[in-house]
Amino acid sequence: MARPLLHDYFRSSAAYRVRILLNLKGIEYDRHSVNLAEGAQKDPAYRALNPQGFVPMLEIDGLKLTQSLSIAVYLDQTRPDPLLMPRDPADGAHVRSLALTVACDIHPLNNLRVLKYLSGTLDATQDQSDAWYGHWVTEGLAALEALAAPRAGAFLFGDSPTLADVMLVPQLYNARRFAVPIAPFPSLRRADESASALPAFAAAHPDMIAQQDMVK
């Protein structure tokens, strides 16, 4: 069977999540870079594979999987070592709520296509776009801190990584890129530090991927 193929962009936080997932699961894979900055996601050949034109898309087990959370669930169900969602229903609901806070409440308001729409179609200045980004990310991270803190340990939930940490690390990477202060969020910073020290997270970092792409 062919190796899994990840359609990826090094700075996409959603694709970053899937790189982490694949690494945590010990899945070797190939990458196809889809340069979002240059509009490669609009290429008809890619749209034929993925009508949304988004990344990530993971070709695995004869399937073409889209949406990072859907990919995460599939991988956890088919390759449950290590398990990233607690088996206990209440714990699982808590971890999902943390993950969804990032994936559904923070990220969609601040991804590349939204920022391009602000600066392009709506003619927002850079300062206005940065203010938009900073407002929604700060509001979302504050909520995430409040949700996570009571049950956080070294990671967002307890002392081992879960899907919540897979969502968190790319979001904090982006927050730092846009100079959003994260000092007010100690539980998030602690989880980010713990996760980023793991090889599976470190190898998925955009800087590592950019270096690999330069070598090719």
Q: Identify the pLDDT of residue 80.
A: 95
What is the set of domains in the chain, with CATH numbers? 5-82+201-215 (3.40.30.10), 89-198 (1.20.1050.10)
Q: Identify the pLDDT of residue 171.
A: 97
| Complete DSSP assignment for 54-102 | -S-EEEETTEEEESHHHHHHHHHHH--SS--S-SSHHHHHHHHHHHHII
CA distance 91 to 77: 17
Task: Tell me the average confidence (pLDDT) per consecutive run of 10 residues in the chain, 216 residues long.
Answer: 92 96 97 90 90 94 96 97 96 98 95 91 95 97 98 98 98 96 98 98 95 75
SS3 9: coil
Q: Identify the pLDDT of residue 129.
A: 95
Q: Identify the pLDDT of residue 11.
A: 93
- Which pTM was predicted? 0.95
SS3 25: coil
Across 86-97, b (16+ Cβ under 10 Å) vs e yields: beeeeeeebbbe
How many CB atoms lie under 10 A from the CB of residue 101?
Answer: 21
Q: Identify the pLDDT of residue 97.
A: 98
Q: Identify the pLDDT of residue 216.
A: 62
Q: Identify the pLDDT of residue 37.
A: 85
SS3 162: coil
Q: Identify the pLDDT of residue 214.
A: 74
